[in-house]
Chains A and B, each alone.
Chain A
Amino acid sequence: MGTVAGAFSGLFGVGGGTVIVPMLIAYFAYGERLATGTSLAAIIVIALLAAGMQGGIYGNVDVGTGLILVGPAIVGVIAGTAIQQRIPEKAVSFLFALLLIGVGIYMVVP
């Protein structure tokens, strides 16, 4: 599945989580919370490799801006994971389905 997730990242420029979470839920019988937590852990490896290549080889990473903007993003992810523990698991699937529909529409609309 890692290969498939990576292939979709390379093919479509989407983050691995867009593929990893629904696959874990639909094909590997993961619960929503376990799927999202495991997806985040897998994304660490994928994003570090990709950021290292983009920054180290091509010099495309604006480290200063990234470090400024990541502050509120970290506050957000802590809040997001806390909220997730307090909503029904199926609400996570519902939100993810909405995201997939949105991404799908974005892809087909020229």
Chain B
Amino acid sequence: MDLAIAGLLCGLGGIVAGLIGVGGGIIFVPAMTIILSKGQVEAESTSLLMIALVSVIGTWRQRSYGNVNFRDAAVIGLLSPVGVLAGVVIANAVPERALKISFAMLAFYMAWRLLKRVFKTPGPGDSIPPLDTAAPDPGPTGP
């Protein structure tokens, strides 16, 4: 029964991943820690494996809609380990509370930027073409 509930939550996590382009770990991890009583580290690590598989399928689906820039994705993905190492070093040198408040400020700022975009009055070039006019598989595209 617990596994079924966790599975339902992970299905929800997959929907979130597909909708907004995150890995889904924000739901996978609590589904495993709260419902399946997994330890935090084991849940986070298992979540990473799930995120990788979900991202493969999500990328495949988004590619079919023409929504993936593989060149930029490769650059971002391959440079990220450098940042992870730097982040771990900084995380161990700066008080945790200061880190969390810094991240919260950044999150609020990014949210404000996105909301400004949402509520901006659209100009003549901002209209979004209807789905049925899009090419079925135009391949990688980018700005």
Contacts and interface: CB of A to CB of B under 8 A. Distances in A.
B77 A44 contact: yes
Chain B CB count within 10 A is highest, among A47, A62, A63, A78, for A47
Nearest to A40: B58
Nearest to A59: B45
Given A12-B103, A15-B23, A97-B114, A6 B143 contact: no
Interface in A47-76: 47-51, 54-55, 58, 60-63, 65-66, 68-76
A47 B51 contact: yes
B70 A15 contact: no
Contacts of A73: 10-11, 13-14, 17, 24, 28, 50, 53-54
A26 B59 CA distance: 21
A26 B113 contact: yes
Interface string B14-54: 11111111111110100110001010011011111111111
A89 to B, nearest CB: 5
Contacts of A85: 65, 131
B20 A95 contact: yes
A11 to B, nearest CB: 4
How many of chain A's residues touch chain B, expressed as a range? 35 or more
Interface residues of B, number: 93
A19 B42 CA distance: 23
A30 B54 CA distance: 22
Nearest to A46: B80
Interface of A: 1-18, 20-26, 28-30, 33-51, 54-55, 58, 60-63, 65-66, 68-86, 88-90, 92-101, 103-105, 107-108
Interface of B: 3, 6-8, 10-26, 28, 31-32, 36, 38, 41-42, 44-59, 61-63, 65, 67-70, 72-91, 99-101, 103-105, 107-108, 110-115, 117-118, 128, 131, 141-143
Given A39-B73, A55-B49, 16 more contacts: A7-B87, A10-B90, A15-B22, A26-B110, A37-B63, A37-B67, A40-B62, A41-B69, A43-B22, A47-B23, A61-B48, A63-B49, A69-B46, A73-B10, A86-B131, A108-B101
